[in-house]
Amino acid sequence: MPILKKLTSAKRLIATHGAAATLRYTSVWTSRRFRHVFFGTPLGWRKFQLMNELAVIHGYRSILEISTAGSGFTYGQLDRTRFDVCRRLSYLTPDAWADGAPVDYRSRDADTSECLRKIRAHGQRFDIVFIDACHEYESTRRDMLDALSLVTENGLIVMHDCLPESEAICTPSRGDLNDWSGVTYKAYLDVLMTRNDLWYCTVNTDYGCGMIRSQRKTNVYKRTIDLDPAYVSPWRNVGHNYNAAFKLYYRNKDALMNVVTVNEFLTAEWGNRTIKT
pLDDT tens digits, 132-164:
989 999 999 999 999 999 999 999 999 999 999
- The answer, yes or no, to whether residue 40 has pLDDT greater than 60, is no
Tell me, yes or no, whether 113 and 12 share the same domain: no
Q: Can you tell me the mean pLDDT for 224-230?
A: 95
pTM score, two decimals? 0.83
Residue 137 lies in a domain: yes
Tell me, yes or no, whether 22 and 80 share the same domain: no
Tell me, yes or no, whether 251 and 145 share the same domain: yes
Residue 277 lies in a domain: no
Tell me, yes or no, whether 30 and 124 share the same domain: no
Residue span of the structural domain in which 21 resides: 1-39
Tell me, yes or no, whether 29 and 94 share the same domain: no
Q: Can you tell me the mean pLDDT for 221-237?
A: 95
Pair 178, 125: CB distance under 8 Å: no
Tell me, yes or no, whether 149 and 239 share the same domain: yes
Q: What is the CATH number of the domain that holds 84?
A: 3.40.50.150
Calculate the average pLDDT of the chain. Answer: 87
Q: Can you tell me the mean pLDDT for 18-31?
A: 53
Residue 55 lies in a domain: yes
Q: What are phi and psi of 207, to 5 degrees?
A: 70, 10
Tell me, yes or no, whether 4 and 49 share the same domain: no
Question: How far apart, in Å, are the Cα atoms of 130 and each of 21, 115, 180?
Answer: 29, 16, 18
Beta strand spans in the chain (E): 62-68, 85-91, 105-106, 126-131, 151-160, 199-203, 209-213, 259-260
Residue 128 lies in a domain: yes
Q: Can you tell me the mean pLDDT for 188-209?
A: 96
Tell me, yes or no, whether 107 and 222 share the same domain: yes
- The answer, yes or no, to whether residue 71 has pLDDT greater than 80, is yes
Q: What percent of the chain has pLDDT over 90?
A: 72
Tell me, yes or no, whether 194 and 255 share the same domain: yes
Tell me, yes or no, whether 188 and 242 share the same domain: yes
Residue 276 lies in a domain: no
- The answer, yes or no, to whether residue 68 has pLDDT greater than 90, is yes
Query: What's the total number of domains in the chain?
Result: 2
Tell me, yes or no, whether 194 and 137 share the same domain: yes
- The answer, yes or no, to whether residue 241 has pLDDT greater than 90, is yes
Tell me, yes or no, whether 16 and 144 share the same domain: no
